[in-house]
Amino acid sequence: MFQRPQHLLSRAAKSHRVVFFEEPIRKPAAPDLPRLERHMTPSGVEVAVPILPEGMDEAASDDAQRALLDGLLAGQRPDIAWYYTPMSLGFTTHLNPVVTVYDCMDELSAFRGASPQLTLRERRLLRQADVVFTGGRSLYEAKLGLHPRVHLFTSGVDSAHFAKSRELRASGAPEPADQANIPHPRIGWFGVVDERMDLGLLDAAAALRPDWSFVMIGPVVKIDPASCPKRPNIHWLGGRKMDELPAYLAGWDCGFMNFALNESTRFISPTKTPEYLAAGVPVVSTPIKDVVRSWGAEGLVEIASSAEEAVAAMETAMSRPRESWLPKADRLLAQGSWDSIWSSMHELLRQAAATKVAGDGSLNSRAVASPNHV
């Protein structure tokens, strides 16, 4: 998945050395474990993946990851420690970076299988962080009273990338082979399929309109694949690379964000909302708070709670000519590019580094001009 972390840190890599230390992968015990697998992405981000033996408890896992990270850094002190999960505190508290960032994009403690330690570690991270970013308004409001420097940066959109769908649609370009023979109208989804998705709603909507095709793109994670509804008009195509998505979106008549309304979705601000719109695909969503406030209020996303409402909303969305809503969508999308978001974040990092250096003359002044190691 190419989401908020990838968009931001690929831009950071243009001026910094960026090492993305992934969550560990577990494998059967072997003489070469624990070990670190490393590769460089085309954007210049170095990805390091800890491979740990199965059966390690949390404390042992933290010890192993600390040793692997120290070996990777080889004694270097990072200028910026950028956190996406508070669980990483278990093996990074000794790093002493110039600036600590918490980019909070989800309420992870509400996710299925979350560690009991997560809430406690988030409190610790909020005490240590110099700056906190949030990926949605609801998260911003939830964290605002917990830290003196919380900044709202809703996720942006790579409009140029997803607008390729419009060009492909207009030109009548050939469709991906696994979608070409699926009948219209096509109702599409791309993204992770997990406990945040209301599979019952999808099943009920597909039952109401057996003449519509529901195209589902994305990996099934943390849930039993057998729980995914099986109907002749629901097509599970599996995961696809980001570069492939515009070709699929070009053939969709409507996007369906069938998020469940539960603790794991209470604070989400889905990145796919602006991505669908940038592709010229009308959108129907369940009443996720940030979607309702940001896009529903603008008349750019239809909101539905039940299967009957969803089907009616899809009919409405598909009946509206694109030229009646695309100009407004494009004006709003232009305000949220990933380049502008990263530029604003980078300035806040520069200010935080300058403040820290001013308060401690022992810190390296190069961090003021441009922190260069994340």
Name the residue type at position 359.
G
140 C-beta neighbours (distance < 10 Å), count = 21
pLDDT at 115: 83
pLDDT at 374: 55
Question: Could you give phi then psi for residue 36, rounded to 5 degrees?
Answer: -120, 125
pLDDT at 356: 82
Domains of the chain: 4-156+337-369 (3.40.50.2000), 159-333 (3.40.50.2000)
Residue position matching structure tokens 């917990």: 146
Sequential pLDDT tens for the chain (374 residues): 788 999 999 999 999 999 999 999 999 999 999 999 999 999 999 999 999 999 999 999 999 999 999 999 998 999 999 999 999 999 999 999 999 999 999 887 777 777 888 889 999 999 999 999 999 999 999 999 999 999 999 988 999 999 999 999 999 999 999 999 999 999 999 999 999 999 999 999 999 999 999 999 999 998 999 999 999 999 999 999 999 999 999 999 999 999 999 988 988 999 899 999 999 999 999 999 999 999 999 999 999 999 999 999 999 999 999 999 999 999 999 988 899 999 999 999 999 999 887 765 433 333 333 334 45
The answer to whether 374 and 92 have CB atoms below 8 angstroms apart is: no
pLDDT at 360: 56
Burial 307-317 (b: 16+ CB within 10 A, else e): bebbbebbeeb
Sign of CA dihedral 364, 368, 372, 374: positive
CA distance 348 to 335: 19
Query: What is the Cβ-side half-sphere exposure of residue 93, based on CA atoms within 13 angstroms?
Result: 13
Name the residue type at position 14.
K
DSSP per residue, 325-359: THHHHHHHHTT-BHHHHHHHHHHHHHHHHHHHHHH
pLDDT at 359: 67
